[in-house]
Structure 1
Amino acid sequence: MSFDIEKAFSDLDQLTSTIEETENEPYLESLIFALRAIQTEETLDLPDKKTADSLAALKESLYSDDTTSESIRKVIQLALIKGMKGSTQHQHVVTPDSVAMFMGYFIQKLMPETKQLRLFDPASGAANLLTAVINQVEADVTGYGSEIDPTLIQLAVESANLQEVEVEYFHQDSLTPLLLEPVDAIVADLPVGYYPNDEQAAKFELNADEGHAYAHHLFIEQSMMYTKEAGYLLFVIPNFLFTSDQSDKLQKYLHNNAHILALLQLPLSMFSSEQHAKSILVLQKHGKDTKPPKQTLMAQLPSFKDVNKTHNILQKIDDWFKSEKRE
């Protein structure tokens, strides 16, 4: 019997919604309780048989031998998307699966021989992007995530536990010092906006000359600090990253510290408006044997629903890797 993601989501949603009503908690907080309930033997005081059946069905299906970490992540992701639709908080958004797929694909192509990989997301949120990439990469991955939001980090912990994915989390402002040795690769959907802590921002090269620094600039610099020499960094960036004010300083910083390998513009259809559109930026930190690409890979990614165009773009990326001999 194959795993039914929609049925499992329906059961998880039923359980979460009941906790939301009975405990008078928001949906995302209730989801934390629901994920914990699946993993423990503690009996929940559930008000009706339907919810009790949902919990029993979840325990049976999520712990079945043919259930993968990736299927479990997808079920949790559907609940996250539902919960975040009702959220007023700007950081409560889920990175689309198609983006995670491209990032995982790129890491696999950049590091095909790597058997063990340390991967860090400094803006991990509920860790949907981080665990999606971990599930995709064919290596033994140890993940690290940093997140300041208490609800999101609790969701991340429960999600990783249920998926049986190895992730260590830091509950802190990701732009303060981390107890983390440099990693092989970084993935992040960069938080966009101003960073309010001017005192901390002053410690960064990419601090603003006046006013608040941009958080998305500081995240790039912080990520570079926690990446090994010759390591890789993959960011979801706003399309205006290289044209907004303070971008001259950023470009100079990148020129001095990294090689820009690729810039892949995400389909506009994914975003509510053109000013919210984003791209994937792929960097390699300078190392003693690294060199810039003969040609930076620039591409406009098609709608991922268009199978032919997606196949063509993957072929273009494959050709680029062959010409660069980076595989």
Structure 2
Amino acid sequence: MTFEVEKAFYTLDKLIETYMEANNEPYLDSLSIVMQSLQKGEVPNGVNSQSFNQLYETVNQEGTDGESVRKTIQLALIKGMKGSTQHQHVITPDSVAMFMGYFIQKLMKDEQAFRIFDPASGAANLLTTVMNQVKAEIQGYGSEIDPTLLQIAVASANLQQLNIEFFHQDSLQKLLLDPVDVVVADLPVGYYPDDMNASTYKLQAKEGHSYAHHLFIEQGMNYTKTGGYLLFLVPNFLFTSDQSEQLQEYLRENAHIIGFLQLPLSMFKSEQHGKSIFIIQKKGKGTKPPKETLMAALPSLKDPNKTSAILRQIDSWFQKEMG
């Protein structure tokens, strides 16, 4: 029995819808319950047992790859997040997550095993995409404050048979985590409300609330080994907004900027929502900046010819800079 993503999603969606109606729960909460039930093999209250057992067998059959399971869950997440009013209920586009995985593969090409951390893991779609893509033995870590997203993340990682440990907390508080080799995150953009905790950061605002996306960069650095890499999805205005001078000074002291790749604006609602992939390395003994920072405006990822051309340019940059 081959795993067909669309067919599996259709069954999963029907199970979620029937659970929602029977238990009067929102879509994302119902997704979380159904996924946890798929892990345990226990039919949840109010759903069709035949459909559930069929999906359970499909997901758990020998030879099912984690990426197919992730894509099925992602379709349900996208549907659930469309109806959500909460700003943190957004999903990193697959094409962007794949690009970030591609860079991690290049940066860590000599490593057989390494540890990766997403401090803003949400439902762990970015983290699991990267882990499914990179050919190495990876121990993953994620931190998320939203309990529904965290439950979905845990069930998703288990169903994909990925080795990820999650923290349920405000990711800008201290974490019980040893420094990792790679940090990856789609940064939450906006102000961080806890001024008391923000005051423990070098990137706290001189007055008023601090930017969460700045603090997440510093927190990522706090939990990265010397010489480790950090890949962030950042707003295009990162270096032009107020407080950006402070950020630039912090980065000059603590990091080498490896690359800044602007994503096509067609991916976003408006120009002000535009984002870029920002890649840095934590400074330390033996590290040195690239002779030339990797800067590019990525074409529409729907255009295979332009995407191939930019990948060739990036490959040649890696060969020159990293051998």
Same fold (TM over 0.5): yes
Partner deviation per Cα, 1:196-243 (whole Å, 9 max, x = no partner): 000000000000000000000000001000000000000000000000
User: Is 1:291 aligned to residue 288 of structure 2?
Assistant: yes
Q: C-alpha displacement at 1:36, in angstroms? A: 1.5
Residue pair 1:3, 1:66 contacting (<8 A) in 2 also: no
Partner of 2:15: 15
Give the direction of change, closer, same or farther, for the CA distance of 1:7–1:203 in structure 2 (3 Å limit).
Answer: same
Runs of 4+ aligned structure 1 residues displaced above 3 Å come to 43-47
1:294 maps to a residue whose letter is K
Residue pair 2:19, 2:45 contacting (<8 A) in 1 also: no
1:185 maps to a residue whose letter is V
Q: C-alpha displacement at 1:52, in angstroms? A: 2.8
Q: 2: distance between equivalents of 1:17 and 1:300?
A: 41
User: Is 1:308 aligned to residue 305 of structure 2?
Assistant: yes
**Percent of paired sites with the same residue:** 64
Q: 2: distance between equivalents of 1:53 and 1:245?
A: 57
Q: 1: distance between equivalents of 2:246 and 2:41?
A: 54
1:9 match: secondary structure: helix
How many residue pairs end up in the alignment? Answer: 323
1:183 maps to a residue whose letter is V
Partner of 1:29: 29
Partner deviation per Cα, 1:261-296 (whole Å, 9 max, x = no partner): 110101111100000000000001102111111100
1:233-244 aligned at under 5 Å gives the runs: 233-244=230-241
Q: 1: distance between equivalents of 2:44 and 2:238?
A: 48
Partner deviation per Cα, 1:3-48 (whole Å, 9 max, x = no partner): 210000000000011111111010000001111221223343435x
Q: 1: distance between equivalents of 2:239 and 2:43?
A: 53
User: Is 1:185 aligned to residue 182 of structure 2?
Assistant: yes
Measured on the aligned residues, the alpha-carbon RMSD in Å equals 1.0
User: Is 1:158 aligned to residue 155 of structure 2?
Assistant: yes
Q: 1: distance between equivalents of 2:61 and 2:3?
A: 9
Residue pair 1:101, 1:136 contacting (<8 A) in 2 also: yes
Q: 2: distance between equivalents of 1:55 and 1:273?
A: 40
Q: Which consecutive unaligned segments of at least 5 residues does structure 2 have?
A: none
Q: 2: distance between equivalents of 1:43 and 1:148?
A: 28
1:262 match: secondary structure: strand
Residue pair 1:266, 1:300 contacting (<8 A) in 2 also: yes
Q: Aligned match of 2:244 in 222, 244, 247?
A: 247
TM-score (norm 1): 0.97
Partner deviation per Cα, 1:93-149 (whole Å, 9 max, x = no partner): 000111111111101101111011100000000000001101111110000000111
TM-score (norm 2): 0.98
Q: Which consecutive unaligned segments of at least 5 residues does structure 1 have?
A: none
1:210-289 aligned at under 5 Å gives the runs: 210-289=207-286
2:296 match: secondary structure: strand
